[in-house]
Amino acid sequence: MSPAEAESRVAHLVAAARKAGADAADAVYFRNQSTEVQVRLGQLEDVGRSDGEEIGLRLFVGKRSASVSSSDLSTDALTALVERAAAMAREAPEDDYAGLAPADRLLTGDAVPIDGDDGEDPSPAALRERAQAAEEAARGIAGVTNSEGAGASAGRTIMALATSTGFARASVTSGYGCSASVIAGTGATMQRDYAYHSTRHLSDLEEAGAIGRRAGERAIARLNPGKLASGPMPVVYDPRVGTSLIGHLAGAITGGAIARRTSFLLGKLEEQVFARGVTIRDDPHRPRGLRSRAFDGEGLPTAPLDLVADGVLTTWLLDSASARQLGLAPTGHAARGGSGAPGAGTSNLYLAPGTHTVDELIGDIALGVYVTELIGQGVNGITGDYSRGASGFAIRDGKLAEPVAEITIAGNLAEMFLHLTPADDLEFRRAMDVPTVRIDGMIVAGA
């Protein structure tokens, strides 16, 4: 199905809902196509091809609403879908806050180009070659003794959204990935690590050998870990795990969490929640970004926004329902899948780089820990209490030292944010990106 056909399909479904008596409705369509190849120890292990469609309808009768979805897009199935949604809505409880996005806020005119689809379609043979190259490079690192496999993937997603207030748009994005996971050492001393990269354009995907070598080198570096003495000390987060910190921020400032009063940042809007100089930006317009989008899940235009500016929390992430509940305006952060009402979420979220190099960031640490892996959940979104299992490397006299494992790092996110210092090594590789970050005053429980 082409984007134009997808757009027409959701517009027709909305029209059918109105004809069935709905006061308002919106519909969303997704088609996901993907090919994945897995290899292990040089041999092909799996080839998978998926091609799935889903359409979702949200229908309003007065203040009552219902959401339904179907993977059967036949005329009969969609007719039954509309009838079922209308019947469900009439029996649903009233909700004063539910409804479509305000019509005067919908995206009009040309959409911001995000360059999300390159039109490529690599063959399974090409994907296999990429996966094998990654694994061979990883296994070529001295000390790597086994492999959990390597993979390469390619896919394309068509998304369309229509509302009874006149919005109808579609978008297409491509996606490519390559990963490797290997084991170093033998017996009880074995250690595992991995590396991966994902992009919108195939030409931007990192060379497979570099991904594999990084996986192997990471596994070797973890061999023979020790433990740290317990106590308060600086904790430095590697970028691949530091992203979880801004993930906790995003979860705490969604409109739903604020409206339910279940966030440790409740009441902190326009207050200092990070140190001065810290900026955290959501950028839905980054060309080729993994979560770039011209419009949100309700049809509102998106725009780059500093969620934190000079350490000050500037906004909540609001869909229309949570905005009404809080007496505010939606922020263009609505996100949704094929079924259910929209929620709120970020696009390409990142912590802006600081002014210190990584060496400068750790140079004055007499004893600390550099974290490369986090284990377990251990985060209370209501209180901000934070306790995670971790492994990585000791920092001794300003330098990375021996690997460490089986430690716990603990603190409270509100205090951790205020004591966070970013380095200058930001790279855009994920949907959430941070440079290396240091947090002073955390509690480490080791030996």
In the chain the domains, ranked by start, together with CATH numbers, are: 3-220 (3.30.2290.10), 225-447 (no CATH)
Residue linked to tokens 């060379």? 207
Judged against a pLDDT cut of 90, whether residue 396 lies above it is answered with yes
Across residues 42-54, what is the average pLDDT? 95
Strands (E), 87-190: 144-163, 168-184
**Structure confidence at residue 72 as a pLDDT band (50, 70, 90):** very high
What is the per-residue pLDDT across 81-130, written as a single tens digit (0 to 9) for each? Answer: 999 999 999 999 999 999 999 999 999 999 999 999 999 999 999 999 99
**Structure confidence at residue 177 as a pLDDT band (50, 70, 90):** very high
What is the per-residue pLDDT across 201-256, written as a single tens digit (0 to 9) for each? Answer: 999 999 999 999 999 999 999 999 998 989 999 999 999 999 999 999 999 999 99
Q: What burial class does residue 355 get, using C-beta atoms within 10 Å of its C-beta: 0-12 exposed, 13-18 middle, 19+ buried?
A: exposed
Rounded Cα distance between 98 and 323, Å, is 10
What is the per-residue pLDDT across 277-308, written as a single tens digit (0 to 9) for each? Answer: 999 999 999 999 999 999 999 999 999 999 99
pTM (2 d.p.): 0.95
Rounded Cα distance between 9 and 199, Å, is 29
Rounded Cα distance between 122 and 33, Å, is 13
